[in-house]
Copies of this chain bind each other. A is one copy, B any other.
Amino acid sequence: MRQAGRSLPEYRAIRAEHGFHEMITNPALAAEVTLQPVRRHRVDAAVLFSDLITPVQAIVDGVTVETGRGPVIERPFRSASDLARLRALEPDDDVPYVAEAVRLVCAELDPIGVPVVGFAGAPFTVATYLIEGGKSKEFAATKTMMHGDPEVFAALLDQLADIAIASLRAQVRAGASAVQLFDSWAGVLSLADYRRVVLPATARVFAGLADLGVPRIHFGVGTGELLGAMAEAGAEVVGVDWRVDLRTARARVGPEVGLQGNLDPALLSAPWPVIEREARRVLAQGRAAGPGFVFNLGHGVLPETDPSVLTRLVKLVHEG
């Protein structure tokens, strides 16, 4: 369950004392908040606490993450000359704290057999931050570059693909036994645009991890229309949000790829019988849609979620 931490008092206690960037770059803090949901909820895996733009923040000047605003890029990427502001990621030098956090998490979780999932932003989603200068609703600058300057856009995505590969490979070397690539904003694209521009760069990431032999998870939200193309990108598992039921998702991704999802996180504020009914429906659909199903939320945990509900949900899923 992504972002499970932010609903926890123990996460908030740490967050109150430390800036977001500090938590990402201090391995002890990043490891601690990665571990909190495992300790409390007994989930079956830990997703590394990190940020979509952590690697580019280490490479590009003037990139910050502001509270309540998200990533801010002082000089947005708009033309070919901006490509020179990126370079290959050297994980040991640029983001040593990421692998170190993975090592600390593994030290606690390996003995109890809980796998650690590496974390990286997908090329398109990271590109939107660089191009828009931060979060966006409409992605007009991104789409303008994608259509108006397709070579530059493709080159940018390839650079970001290589950065994601380097980051995830370092995390696996440090002990992560699976990886998850987050394409949080891909759902703003048409299928045709996704296939032409984004799929090649995303496939490049998964191909660049293939020799590691670890399960690769491809996350998206609002990506129902793209599921078939996402399944072609090469991951073992594709995420599905609550908008698409798992039977429909299976039909779109074909028989080879596992599915992850798809309980609506907004439902976790509803009375327990509603959550139980919906969780059981997801479980039944997930089993029927086999092979390969990872029960999860369709998106991140909402901050206002009652942690005891999450614990109860995990128990329900374990008891099946």
Contact = CB atoms under 8 A, between A and B. Distances in A.
B147 A274 contact: yes
Nearest to A265: B138
Contacts of A59: none
B147 A191 contact: no
B147 A278 contact: yes
A302 B144 CA distance: 13
Contacts of A190: 242-245, 264
Interface residues of A, number: 35
Interface in A206-239: 222, 224-225
Interface on chain A toward B: helix, strand, loop, or mixed SS?
A: helix
A144 B265 CA distance: 11
Nearest to A300: B138
A2 interface: no
26 contacts: A138-B266, A138-B302, A139-B266, A140-B266, A140-B268, A140-B304, A141-B269, A142-B266, A143-B264, A143-B267, A143-B270, A144-B267, A144-B269, A144-B270, A147-B267, A147-B271, A148-B270, A148-B274, A188-B243, A190-B242, A190-B243, A191-B243, A191-B244, A224-B224, A225-B244, A225-B248
A192 interface: yes
A189 interface: yes
A267 B187 CA distance: 16
Given A147-B267, A225-B224, A270-B148, A243 B189 contact: yes
Given A144-B267, A191-B244, 12 more contacts: A139-B266, A140-B269, A140-B302, A141-B269, A142-B266, A143-B264, A144-B269, A147-B267, A147-B271, A187-B243, A190-B245, A224-B225
Contacts of A143: 264, 266-267, 269-270
A251 to B, nearest CB: 13
A140 to B, nearest CB: 4
Contacts of A302: 138, 140
Contacts of A274: 147-148
Contacts of A189: 243
Contacts of A271: 147-148
A188 B222 CA distance: 9
Nearest to A136: B266
A278 B191 CA distance: 14
Nearest to A143: B266
Pairs A-B, 9 closest by C-beta atoms: A140-B266, A147-B274, A143-B266, A148-B270, A144-B270, A144-B269, A147-B270, A148-B271, A140-B269
A138 B301 CA distance: 10
Nearest to A277: B147
Contacts of A266: 138-140, 142-144
A224 B270 CA distance: 26
B144 A192 contact: no
